[in-house]
Structure 1
Amino acid sequence: MADSEEAGEARNIASGVTGSVVVQAGVIHGGVHIHHQPHESAWRSRLSATSILSMRRDVAAFTGREDELRDLVGAIGEAGGIHAIDGMPGVGKTTFAVHVAHLLADRFPDGLMFLPLHGHTAGQRPVEPGAALASLLAATGVDAQAMPAGLDDRAALWRHRMAGSRVLLLLDDAVGHEQVRPLLPGSATCVVLITSRRRLESVEDLNPVSLGVLPRSEAEALFIRLSRTRDADPEALAELMELCGYLPLAINLLAGRLRHHPSWNLRHLVGKVSRTKDRLAELRAENLAVASAFQLSYDDLPVAERQLFRRLGLHPGTDIDSFAAAALDGRPVDATADRLDALYTDHLVDELLPGRYRCHDLIREYARTLTGHDPAAENDHALYRLLDYYLHCATTAGARLPDHRGNAALPRLKPGHLPDRLPDLGSVRSAREWLDAEHANIGSCLDRVARDRPVRSVYLADALQPHLEFRGHWALALAVQRTVLETARERSGEREQAVALTHLGRMQRRVGAHAEAEKSLSAALAIQVGRGDELGQANALINLGAARARLGNYRAAMADFTRAQELYGRLGDQLGRANALKDLGEVQILVGDRETATTTLALARELSVAAGSRRGEANALIGLGRIHYLSGDYPEATETLSRAHRLHVEHSGPLDEANALVALGRVHHLTGQYRRADEAFTAAHDIYTGLGHRHGQAATHKNIGRVRQATGDLPAAVAELTRAHDLHVETGDRNGQAEVLNDLGSLHEARSRLPEAIDAYRRAWRLTVETDSLPQQAIALEGLGRCLVESGDTGEGTESLQAALELCRQLKAPRTAQLAAFIASLSDRPGGR
């Protein structure tokens, strides 16, 4: 049989888009949608009873391949493992692999999973391993916002979730071993089937299965079965199979033509194939017979369906719904839906979901060869209609999302021609679903048309940005913003450049590239100041301040946040002002000004509540909770942070929840509840790791190290703190480095390793002087003083302790009295002052 993609045989497929990949996963009897869930304990039992997205259905007319089936099924039964099915386009690799999966379904109670890798999809890059892993993890319940950012982290999480499971994974259309290797589950209980047009010779422990064209007898049997013909002309049948090259795809399509033309016979069909086989020079290198079959299918279409088919060749993405197709074709939605259904019936498109279609890569390539039949101006207008449709819907959907503020720095564009009907985007759920389904297509459109329509591209990227950020598609967001920035610099105005720079800097900050973010955001700010755009300035400033805070430039960060909240306030954007005040309050805590921070964060909370932002309220409460535990008021800190955690669980995403867990864990640690502290930090670490949030990972390693020290496991404490220090160095977080060095100094001190402790405290002190972090500076000076006194250098040690005492008094630190008493006791020592 032909590949189910190529032959158009896969029907009633439940599928969806994650990143730029269509993932299909589930079991034979599945059909119920599984909502994403972050806990590994639940996904397997639910996957075994239902399906997130169905495995492609088996083909009832599967014919032949008995020898290959026997060998492969036998090999899987004996050793499991990894099996690569290779062969030429149209030879039936996918259909064969799907058939094998269904034959073995009862051996894999945890499910069957199907992942197209688009190794040879015309007009589309092969799926990157990171994007493929994101799709696989999402299929097992990992929330998209909590997706690891790095390839190694995603691969590790994937292997962890697959450990011990019995899953059959089908990786379809792989481009090479580099793409496949990170996706391997690494579990002996899992089986992997890979289809590829290449031989994957570099994958270790791989069992290759090469499919050739069908033997003549099997090809004829397949054609007779599919066409349902009773024509007893063996010579014509043999000639037709030879013209098809015994390729299952061509056989399948020609059988369909004959089946739907009762007046035709085999000899007539042979004549048509013979006359048309040289028409498609573009596909001749791939396979002449396939191109001829495509040409026959196209020629048999009515005029309107031919036009739609050609227009589908213009679409830059991999799938399309009836609304987008209507925009592309300039026709009513219902009429377009009917024509898409006709194309599906003629095996020129596959139906992924009701109303959503995809061309196989070879058919899409063929459709693109036909776009030259239409005037270039008409093709351009079709693409621009599609772009306007995506812009209108992305803007409408984005406005439904929680805490949506819009971007008044970009005045609203009036869309051009829109379809007569639009998708229902009236609820948060429907808006999220539309954005989930279309964001990869929109990204492909931006790649295609950014240079010709730079202004609209900036608007579209701006509309898509909040969704990509919330869902954790940070790599795509970075790529989109870099694309539109490049074209905006060349072909549009300063306003568009500034917006693209602001979004780019925000995403650079998200992935821990703080120095790059500072450059991008400084450039955006300079443009907006020159333009006199106060909202643009505020948007750049709030992100610039966050980048500078991570780099330890606290004075500049506070100035940025102060100016941002003033601008937001003047413009009447109270939620923007609340966010800026929250960020300002957090930095005020870091520099030790807790009294001012309390006032700042209280106002941020008040404004958030007034704006109806429960997420903003929770973020302000976390800051207030920190002030409570730094001041020694642990009961109030516990109550405040518990409320913040509940609000984030109910109204926010995993990142916010992890931040609340870290703050709660600190209270548990400070009050001696080490088991609860460890649980909170570990849960937060799992979230940060899933998200690829390196600052959060460093914070949890640091706090887990503190717990290990408190419970006496000093070697484990050293390992955790060292990892935290390395992460802070990687991200350029100088205050984080100082904190960990102070912790390492305390740990060395507890182990009576005074030289190492003195070195750690000195390094921490130097960093705190650079960052103006007075609380950490006080800790460094106090630790340094203690160790110097203990080592016999009472003079310098006392000076350090006195400096620490002054800072503690300034900061109103709870340990001030204890430190003063210790300094006083030094005078009673021999040689003391």
Structure 2
Amino acid sequence: MTDDLRLDLLGPLRGWSGHRRLDLGPTRQQTLLAVLAFRSNQVISAHELVELVWSDAPPSTGVKIVPPYIYRLRKLLPEGVLVHTRDGYSLRLAPGALDLDRFEGLISAAHGCRDKDEAAAKLSEALELFTGEPLSGLAGHYLSVQRHRLTERRLKVLAERIQLDLERGRYGDLVPELVALVEEDRLREQFAGQLMLAYWRSGRISEALETYTRTRHELIEQLGVEPGPELRAIHERILQNDEPLARPAVRDELPYDGAAFVGRDDVLKQVVDALRTAGPAVVAIDGMAGVGKTALAVRAARQLADVYPDGRLFIDLHGYTPGHEPVSALQALDRLLRTLSVPADRIPADLEERAALWRSELAGRQILVVLDNAPDSAAVRPLLAGGPRCGVLVTSRRQLTGLDATARLALDVLRPEDARELLAEIVGADRAGSADAAAEVVNQCGYLPLAIRVAGARLRHRPSWTIEHLSKRLDAEDRRLAELSTDSGGVSPAFALSYEHLPPDQQRLFRLLGAMTGQDIEMYAAAALADVDVVEAEDMLEQLVDANLLLQLRPGRFQFHDLLRQYARTLAPEPDAVRRLLDYYLYATAEASAAIFSSRLQPLPGPAPVRLPEFDSAAEGLEWIDAEGANVLATVRSAESSPEHVWRTGLAVASCFFQRGRVYEMDEALQLALRAAAGDAEAESRVLLSIGSLGRYRLGAEASLRTLQEARDRLPADADLALRARLLASIGYSLAKLSPDDEALAVLREALEVARRAGDQSIASRVLAYLGATYGDRREFAQALAAYQDSLELGDPAVQSEVLNGIGECLLELDRVDEAVAALTTARDLGVERGADYSLIYTYAFLGTAYARQRLWSEAIDVGRRSLELALESDSKQSQQNAYLRLAETLLAKGDLAQARPHFARALELALEEGQEATVERAADGLDRTGPAA
């Protein structure tokens, strides 16, 4: 016998070996294990097992089917647990290995307790062992009988615990639980009687009598019988008010908060703890519509009966209730005072006097007041309790910033795992489907409890649906809100009420935000959408956050919840607003690009028609791209109706993505731009130029050259000279990468001449940098150095880092190592300052070689590895082969042959793919010098 195995039967069959959860296999195998568990430590013959396990479908093979299943179970279970004797099979379990044994043990202990509190606690602990329907999903007559027996046993124990709670005076706490139990089985008289007693002893006589009437009707309608003598006796006692055990009624007005309440343990604890503190406690809970504020407040209030023994009052202020005007403070005080049995003739008409009487009535009492659905702080302030032992719990869709609360809680949507658990609670474990399907549904619901409840109710009431079918229906964004709404409520009506309570200017901005193309928005984009001042836009965004209709990710950046975004898109759009948003992203991206590259890469059609952020440095431009790049790309994707915006914005953002090494986003932006430019020859040529130039380092010089030649073929004869110069320069450089021969030099010199004719020093500086690189590839380093220095003198910041890299490489080849280190150190500082990850790949690689020449091995290897890391992140094959080669040469010079060899091998592989003969020769020579592979 071993104490290592534990099995749970009071719910879905589950097993553990120590701390390891067991996969119990297919259903029939689980059925066999469950039967053995119920008859644990007994011997069961094979014939009996067939009868108990396969009663629903007896196998034609008879007892021969048993050994294979026993074999599988033995492999699964700890050694020595499942034994075979001459008479049959036995599952040997230690005491307490079954949750059923622990259940019965706790009940026995409870029956032995003299203290009612202790007995109730043990019964509660026993009931918590039930995790669902016993052995759910397992077939067979034997297990069906056991399932029914255990279910009835649970209900009997539950009734015992409820009786103890009644005897302990916990009437108000019992009402919600008993309401659910009676609703679940309207013919079970015992729970109906207990609910009548709980209502009666809470001072809710009418509801107690109504429960009797409803139960009697069900019994007559369903069974044709009158209620039993016990229920009739309770009814008679209530009619005669004959209750010797009744204590003075404690007001408990908390509504039923539903049976399904999952997750929220952390926030529930925060609320409860805050209301347990000494002194008058005021806790405010805010959150978007449908997030579960009321459920949380009521659940917390139920846990505070010991702190507020004189009562828990509840009033819905109807701040956002369809068909209801918000309850005024005057009206709320009238109701609250009447709740405390204050006669009507004592209640003043004046608000201040009525509030003073309210505070006076609470003095000396320990009462918790729940103010639900508050419209604003002003509606709440007169209702606050002044008594030192009273508490107030407020919920609202708005942030009640004007309320002097002792604790505030902004309630968020559910965690994914809690959202899945809520769905399973609503539809039942058998309908919840696979974990992946459930995860998809709750994701489509935005993890919003209200949406999950609506979706779960639809699935529960449609037996023919599967969770996969529900997910497919929710997948269509244009109908998702309709799927999550009903005639009586749901997501859209809840959102509509929040929207209708906004002032007109905020309503307009909320509608306009539906045009957001990206995941979030900042104040300049919002100002462009609404055509208002930036400060005014930010104020309205903050006000929407206060109304819990917008999320604030961090200062200055805002985002919709997914379902709120879809709701905003259903409201009337303004076409001009979309145009303003497109203008904003085009001109802002162009300004960011100009800051990054210190030059404009394309002319724009006139001055910016919207207010733009200011970029005073390359770092600020890159910071904006890091934050807004995804939104810009989303705009490019969605702006099919404005092709000029698409190709211009795509071009502007692509170069910025390149600078950040975001090559896949760069490729997408350029492909979208090319499609939008169709039919405009000069625009097509511009886009193809960028595709060829920016793609050279990843796709290779040959593919780049083909694209650039296509761009040249489409270039109109009267095209801008600066554009022609840039195109010639890029063609010449691609030719040089394939072969640094006289043809490449001739094209580059022509490009330099056209750039000078155009008067564009920026392009001339880049052409000289290309000439420097070409001379370097020809190993004519003196000429290369001169070209680079001429480029540097033109002072174009856009190419400064690249030019300094080239100068550093030339100086290394000319064995002027100290000068090379100085140039490369400047290049590194510039690259870091500008966030130019791509240029830093080469800076670090060349610095590695320079440090190696100085025999600074640690520094050389560090920067070499940093170069390789950046190259691998960039997906540029050309920069990768350079980084691999230079790091390998450093390791070889240090004498670390084993580390150098794989780097030479990878450099050779990449160079062969790219046709880079010079790199092939250097990598092959390095491999020879490292010796044969191990």
TM-score by length of 1: 0.53
Code of the residue aligned with 1:405 in structure 2: it is S
Residue 473 of structure 2 is aligned to residue 286 of structure 1:
no
Q: Output the amino acid matched with 2:544.
A: L
- Structure 1 residues 365 and 522 mapped into 2: Cα distance closer, same or farther (>3 Å)? same
The Cα offsets for residues 717-766 of structure 1, whole Å up to 9 and x where unpaired, read as: 33221111123344453432233123334445xx6x9xx9xxxxxxxxxx
Q: Deviations over 1:544-564 (max 9, x none)?
A: 344444444655543443222
Decide which of 538, 562, 570 is 1:361's aligned counterpart.
562
Q: Aligned pair in 2 of structure 1 residues 671, 621: CA closer, same or farther (>3 Å)?
A: same
Where does residue 390 of structure 1 map in the other structure? 585
- Equivalent position to 1:370, from 552, 571, 577: 571
Alignment of 1:629-708 (within 5 A): 629-632=812-815, 634=817, 637=820, 641=824, 653-669=836-852, 677-708=860-891
**Residue type at the aligned position of 2:752:** Q
| CA distance 1:444–1:101, change in 2 (3 Å) | farther
Which one-letter code corresponds to 2:547 in the other structure? D
- Asked whether the 8 Å contact 2:844–2:864 carries over to 1, the reply is yes
Match of residue 455 from structure 1: 644
Aligned to 2:93: none
Provide the C-alpha distance between the structure 1 equivalents of 2:646 and 2:908, rounded to a whole number of angstroms.
41
Task: For 2:755 and 2:522, locate their aligned partners in 1 and report how far apart those are by CA, in whole Å.
Answer: 39
> Equivalences for 1:306-321 in 2 at 5 Å?
306-321=507-522
Query: In the aligned structure 1, how far is the partner of 2:700 from the partner of 2:262?
Result: 42
- Show CA shifts across 1:180-225 (max 9, x none): xxxxxxxxxxxxxxxxxxxxxxxxxxxxxxxx99899757437999
Matched, 1:322 2:523: yes
Q: How does 1:403-418 map to 2 (within 5 A)?
A: 403-408=597-602, 410-416=603-609, 418=610
More deviation, 455-464/716-725? 455-464
Q: Distance in 2 between matches of 1:391 and 1:510?
A: 26
Q: Which residue of 2 aligns with 1:115?
A: none
Contact 1:514–1:732 (CA<8 Å) still a contact in 2? no
Aligned match for 2:629, one of 433, 436, 439: 439
What is the deviation of 1:480?
A: 1.3
Paired residue secondary structure (1:463) = helix
1:365-764 correspondence to structure 2 within 5 Å:
365-371=566-572, 379-399=574-594, 401-408=595-602, 410-416=603-609, 418=610, 422-425=612-615, 430-449=620-639, 451-489=640-678, 492-528=679-715, 530-552=717-739, 554-608=741-795, 611=796, 613=797, 616=799, 619-632=802-815, 634=817, 637=820, 641=824, 653-669=836-852, 677-747=860-930
Displacement of 1:536: 1.3
Cα deviation 1:778-799 (Å, max 9, x = unaligned): xxxxxxxxxxxxxxxxxxxxxx
Contact 1:394–1:460 (CA under 8 A) maintained in structure 2 = yes
2:855, 2:544 → 1: CA distance?
68
Counterparts in 2 of 1:620 and 1:719: CA distance versus 1, 3 Å: same
Q: How does 1:137-286 map to 2 (within 5 A)?
A: 220-221=298-299, 230-231=313-314, 255=373, 257=375, 282-286=480-484
State the AA in 2 paired with 1:404: S
- Tell me if the contact between 1:718 and 1:744 (Cα under 8 Å) persists in the aligned partners: yes
Shift of 1:319: 1.7
TM superposition shift of 1:441: 1.9
How far the C-alpha of 1:364 sits from its partner, in A, is 0.5
Q: Is the 8 A contact 1:551 1:734 kept in 2?
A: no
Cα deviation, 1:99-121, whole Å, max 9, x if unaligned, reads 99999xxxxxxxxxxxxxxxxxx
The 1:626–1:224 alpha-carbon spacing in structure 2 relative to 1, beyond 3 Å, is same
Alpha-carbon distance in structure 1 between the residues aligned to 2:770 and 2:514: 48
**Change beyond 3 A, Cα 1:464–1:724:** same
Quote the residue 1:202 is aligned against: none
The letter of the residue matching 2:525 is A
- Conserved in 1, the CA contact under 8 Å of 2:709 and 2:731? yes
Q: How big is the shift at 1:668? A: 4.8
Superposed displacement of residue 482, structure 1: 1.0
Shift of 1:526: 2.2
- Give CA deviations for 1:234-285 in whole Å, capped at 9, x if unaligned: 9xx9999xxxxxxxxxxx9983559887799x9xx9xxx9xxx99x975132
Aligned-pair distance for 1:360? 0.5
Closer/same/farther in 2, CA of residues 669 and 305 from structure 1, 3 Å limit = closer
SS at match of 1:284: helix
CA distance in 1, matches of 2:745, 2:271: 61
Q: What SS is found at the alignment partner of 1:511?
A: helix
1:222–1:335: structure 2 CA closer, same or farther, 3 Å change rule?
Answer: farther
Instruction: Provide the rounded CA distance (Å) in 1 between the counterparts of 2:628 and 2:904.
Output: 42
Cα distance change, pair 339–260 in 1 and its aligned pair in 2 (3 A): farther
Return the offset for 1:456: 2.4
One-letter amino acid of the structure 2 residue matched with residue 318 of structure 1: Q
Asked if 1 retains the 8 angstrom alpha-carbon contact of 2:765 and 2:794, the reply is yes
Give the distance between the partners of 1:711 and 1:546, measured in 2 at CA.
34
Q: What is the CA–CA distance in structure 1 between the aligned matches of 2:293 and 2:528, rounded to whole Å?
A: 45
CA shift in 2, pair 1:333/1:462, >3 Å: same
Identity fraction in percent: 24
CA distance in 2, matches of 1:632, 1:215: 73
TM-fit CA distance, 1:454:
1.2
SS at 2:867's partner residue? helix
Describe the superposition over 1:290-322 as per-residue Cα deviations: whole angstroms up to 9, x where unpaired.
222112212333343333222111221222233
Q: Is the 8 A contact 2:848 2:863 kept in 1?
A: yes
**Residue number in structure 1 paired with 2:540:** 339
Alignment RMSD (CA, Å): 4.8
1:466-511 deviation digits (Å, cap 9, x = unpaired): 433323333222211211211211xx51122122222222332243
Query: Does the aligned pair in 1 maintain the 2:618–2:834 contact within 8 Å?
Result: no
Cα distance in 1 between the residues matched to 2:858 and 2:294: 70
Q: How much does 1:624 deviate?
A: 4.0
Q: Structure 2: which amino acid aligns with 1:296?
A: L
Q: 1:345 to 1:260 in 2, by over 3 A?
A: farther
Q: CA deviation at 1:647?
A: 5.7
For residues 668 and 629 of structure 1, the distance between their equivalents in structure 2, rounded to whole angstroms, comes to: 11
Alpha carbons of structure 1 residues 422 and 604: separation in structure 2 relative to 1, 3 Å: closer
State the Cα distance separating 1:446 from its structure 2 match: 1.4
- In the alignment, which residue of structure 2 is the partner of 1:820? none
Per-residue deviation, 1:645? 5.0
Paired residue secondary structure (1:660): helix
SS in 2 for 1:580: helix
Q: Please say if residues 698 and 878 of structure 2, whose CA atoms lie closer than 8 Å, have aligned partners that are also in contact.
A: no
Give the structure with higher Rg (CA). Answer: 2
Q: Structure 2: any 5+ residue segments left out of the alignment? A: 1-123, 130-259, 273-289, 304-311, 324-369, 384-393, 398-450, 452-456, 459-477
